[in-house]
Amino acid sequence: MIKVIAVGLSIALSSGIASAQAPTPAPAPPTPTPAPPKTPKTDEKAGTDEGLQSGGDTRPWAVGVSQDDQKIAFKKFQEGNVQLNDGLFPAAVKLYREALSHWQHPAIHYNLALALLNLDQPVEVYESLQAAVKFGAAPLEKDKFEHAKEYMLLVEKQIATIDVSCSKPGAVISVDGKVVFTVGNDGKAGHYVSKVKVGKHTFVAEKPGYNAQVDAPYIGPGEPFRIELTLYTADELTRYKRRWNAKWMPYAVIGGGALLGVAGVFLELSANSSYKDYDTAVAKCNTDAMNAGCMNAGDVASMRDSGDTKKTLGYVGYGVAGAAVATGVLLLYLNRSNSYQITADEYRKELREKESGVSVTPVIAPGVAGAMLTGSF
């Protein structure tokens, strides 16, 4: 930041309004050494010049300014110079702005810039210096005019230009917490251009029913910083994802479990059938006295063993089936679709990728068959 310790900076409102001297600024920024204070002259009064009659002053910076307004402006200007000399910069700024409300004199703008330099307000300093040099050196004195141009070059390194636009009707646009414009419903995009201090700034676009877009980039000096704020609905920015891309996996596990359960049922039915065959064979052995030893025959015993084996396998099938179904249900829950929102930048990237895609359209006409390839790169 450019600092000016305003012990003395002299400036005269004009040859016609006053010769009162305020402190003279340092001749060589950015490390100016203030000149010794000069005692303001008191032998000339504002508005005593014959050429300052209302409507009679042809100086460009005085046209349309009444004699009363010039007197008030000059009085506030002198009071501001006293505050500036005493290092009371906020008080000086207030008085200079009161003076400017009566007369937009370049000299007042110049001293206002000197006070603002000490308050770290580079944008306001730059605007005041621009107003100070608007009419050249005539209303300032040559050395003040040269100093103003030198300060402007230094202050330009502390500020940047922003260019903000938005085309969403009804959107309210804010910069650093201050509403700068609202997009109308006439189909025209809103636009805002301004100077800002170099550094981080926040840009916000808001509208009921839309997700607010918030950007907070660091803006450096140099080329204008341009940003277009675009609002999207929650549905446009909502995406869905699963834990695994293979959505079929949980269903396959559940299906496998179900098949094992069915196999268990068949095994149990087959086991019951083997037991019935065994019971029939035993009953036959008991009624046939000639075949009393058939109970120990291998075929009869194998029927019982087969039933036991099938029954055991059926129970195992039930257990594995139950575990598989439970696992499938758990996988189905874990792989459920979850919603999330992407940023406006990510959505715009998606749109660009879609626009740059290639599409194939079949072409069928009398005597012609083929395809049309379209795309953008």
Q: Tell me the three state secondary structure of residue 300.
A: helix
For the entire predicted model, the pTM comes to: 0.54
In this prediction, residue 7 has a pLDDT band, given cuts at 50, 70 and 90, of: very low
Q: What do you get for the CA distance between the two ends of the chain, in Å?
A: 46
Same domain, yes or no: 14 and 140: yes
Same domain, yes or no: 213 and 306: no
Same domain, yes or no: 32 and 139: yes
Sequence-distant (≥ 6) Cβ neighbours of residue 33 within 8 angstroms: 26
Same domain, yes or no: 196 and 86: no
Contact assessment for residue 218 and residue 296, using Cβ atoms and an 8 Å cutoff: no
Asked which of 233, 263, 289 is the last residue of a domain, the reply is 233
Contact assessment for residue 267 and residue 260, using Cβ atoms and an 8 Å cutoff: no
Please give the full DSSP string across 187-248, using - where no structure is assigned. Answer: SPPEEEEEEEESEE--EEEE-TTEEPEEE--EE-SSSPEEEE---EEHHHHEEEE-S-S-TH
Distance of alpha carbon 334 from the chain centroid = 33
> Which residue range(s) make up the domain with 358?
343-375
Q: Over 70: is that where the pLDDT of 8 sits?
A: no
What rounded mean pLDDT belongs to the chain? 76
Same domain, yes or no: 327 and 348: no
Query: 134: how many CB neighbours lie within 10 A of its CB?
Result: 13
Same domain, yes or no: 83 and 194: no
pLDDT computed for residue 288 by the predictor: 64
Range picked from 4-18, 229-243, 345-359 for highest mean pLDDT: 229-243
CA–CA–CA angle 370, 376, 377 (5° rounding):
125
In this prediction, residue 374 has a pLDDT band, given cuts at 50, 70 and 90, of: low
Asked which of 105, 123, 157 is the last residue of a domain, the reply is 157
Report yes or no on 61 lying in a domain: yes
pLDDT computed for residue 17 by the predictor: 39
Same domain, yes or no: 207 and 310: no
Report yes or no on 162 lying in a domain: no
Integer Cα distance of 348 and 231 in angstroms: 11
Same domain, yes or no: 140 and 33: yes
Q: How many domains does the chain have?
A: 4
Same domain, yes or no: 16 and 126: yes
Asked which of 113, 136, 157 is the last residue of a domain, the reply is 157
Integer Cα distance of 362 and 322 in angstroms: 51
Integer Cα distance of 226 and 228 in angstroms: 7
Same domain, yes or no: 24 and 147: yes
Same domain, yes or no: 292 and 369: no
Assign residue 97 the CATH number of its domain.
Answer: 1.25.40.10
pLDDT computed for residue 368 by the predictor: 52
Same domain, yes or no: 27 and 104: yes
Q: Tell me the three state secondary structure of residue 372.
A: strand
Integer Cα distance of 21 and 28 in angstroms: 20
**Helices marked H in the chain:** 67-85, 89-100, 106-117, 122-132, 142-155, 234-237, 248-287, 298-334, 344-355
Q: Over 60: is that where the pLDDT of 125 sits?
A: yes
Report yes or no on 242 lying in a domain: no
